[in-house]
């Protein structure tokens, strides 16, 4: 027997989850793992993983389109675990609804049909009544996931960092070209950066054929943050500290950010792209809630990872290894 784990989604998080699953092949109960990468265009990621994951573990990639339910049945055939990384960062309100909400709902429905355990990755702050399309559709997706798969596990990360991330690397690159690093509204919003490898370890733990773990995470929301909390301004200070550059950090009014977003969100994606919704999100904290609402069933990220896999990683240990 073996576990067939389908990673539905590609990129930064998907590649790290795949490598972690391969390194810990079998988990505590030693069922061999087979990993399948599935997305609209999975070949590039699959090709990059072939160098580090044996062919006995990495299955051939299977293309799918989460907006078309008929493509999911083939991709999810015989799956024991489905890791749903459905999400986008840019797009129209219709794009967010079609992909981030309805696409996630399609994945959950297909997971239910094949009888697979579902791990759905969302985001801290997900709220189905928010006026921000990204936040609202994250919340609507969670609601759909639990309605279809009541025993699913939803992971809500804060700011995810690690080699190849699109946040710390982006601002480090910007510091090469800009005379200062900007923050909006004083940069007072709080973040709890979480190492991508720690998110991958959590997914590996949940994927195990382990009844104790199943009991702890089934039907639960897990807000995932690292061991430290920083303001947005302090995050920019971290960038400059570990890439060894000196730049002033300048606070700009939110109105300036909204004006920039109104222009940049209409242009092709580039290093300077920011949307109005992203500026709005900078007004809110992205940290683990120590007192989650009684209506939500939460489990502790830190307790689960440290009990089954070891301590969480600090930004102070990881950022110096890749920022430049």
> Helices 196-207 and 301-308 meet at what angle, rounded to 10?
70
pLDDT in tens, the chain (324 residues): 678 999 998 889 999 999 999 988 655 455 789 999 999 999 999 999 999 999 999 999 999 999 999 999 889 999 999 999 999 998 999 999 999 999 999 999 999 999 999 999 999 999 999 999 999 999 999 999 999 999 999 999 999 999 999 999 999 999 999 999 999 999 999 999 999 999 999 999 999 888 999 999 999 999 999 999 999 999 999 999 999 999 999 999 999 999 998 998 888 888 888 899 999 999 999 999 988 877 679 999 999 999 999 999 999 999 999 999
Report CA 256 to chain centroid distance, whole Å. 28
Does CATH number 3.30.70.260 belong to domain 3-163+193-225+287-312? Answer: no
CA dist 119 and 123 (Å) reads 13
- Whether residue 44 contacts residue 77, with contact meaning beta carbons closer than 8 Å, is answered with no
Is residue 157 within 8 A of residue 191, CB to CB? The reply is no
pLDDT at 24: 81
**For residue 305, what pLDDT is reported?**
97
Which DSSP string do the residues of 174-219 spell out, in sequence order?
HHHH-SSEEEEGGG--EE--EEHHHHHHHHHHHHSS-HHHHHHHTT
Whole-number pLDDT of residue 28: 47
238-247 core/surface letters (b: 16 or more CB in 10 A; e: else): bbbebbeeeb
Q: Which residue has the tokens 């490898």?
A: 197
Q: How far is CA 168 from the centre of its chain?
A: 15
């Amino acid at each position: 027997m073996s576990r067939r784990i389908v990673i539905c989604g590609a990129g930064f998080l998907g590649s790290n989850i795949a490598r972690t699953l391969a390194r810990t092949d079998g988990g505590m109960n030693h069922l061999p793992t087979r990993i399948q990468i599935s997305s609209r265009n999975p070949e590039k990621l699959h090709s990059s993983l072939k160098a580090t994951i044996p062919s006995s573990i990495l299955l051939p990639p299977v293309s799918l389109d989460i907006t078309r339910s008929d493509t999911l049945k083939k991709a999810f055939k015989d799956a024991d675990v489905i890791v749903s990384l459905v999400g986008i960062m840019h797009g129209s309100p219709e794009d967010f609804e079609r992909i981030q909400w309805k696409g996630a709902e399609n994945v959950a429905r297909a997971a239910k049909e094949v009888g697979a355990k579902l791990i759905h990755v969302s985001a801290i702050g997900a709220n189905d009544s928010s006026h921000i399309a990204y936040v609202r559709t994250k919340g609507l997706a969670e609601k759909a996931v639990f309605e279809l798969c009541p025993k699913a596990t939803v992971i809500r990360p804060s700011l995810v960092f690690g080699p190849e991330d699109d946040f710390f690397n982006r601002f480090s690159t910007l510091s090469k070209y800009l005379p200062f690093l900007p923050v909006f509204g004083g940069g007072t919003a709080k973040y709890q950066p979480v190492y991508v490898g720690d998110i991958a370890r959590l997914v590996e733990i949940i994927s195990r054929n382990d009844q104790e773990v199943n009991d702890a995470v089934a039907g639960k929301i897990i807000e995932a943050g690292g061991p430290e909390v920083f303001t947005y301004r302090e995050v920019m200070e971290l960038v400059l500290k570990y890439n060894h550059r000196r730049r002033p950090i300048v606070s700009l009014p939110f109105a300036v950010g909204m004006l920039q977003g109104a222009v940049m969100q209409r242009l092709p994606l580039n290093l300077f792209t920011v949307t109005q919704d992203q500026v709005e999100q900078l007004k809110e904290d992205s940290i683990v809630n120590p007192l989650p609402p009684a209506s939500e069933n939460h489990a502790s990220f830190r307790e689960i990872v440290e009990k089954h896999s070891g301590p969480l990683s600090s930004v102070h240990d990881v950022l110096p290894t890749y920022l430049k």
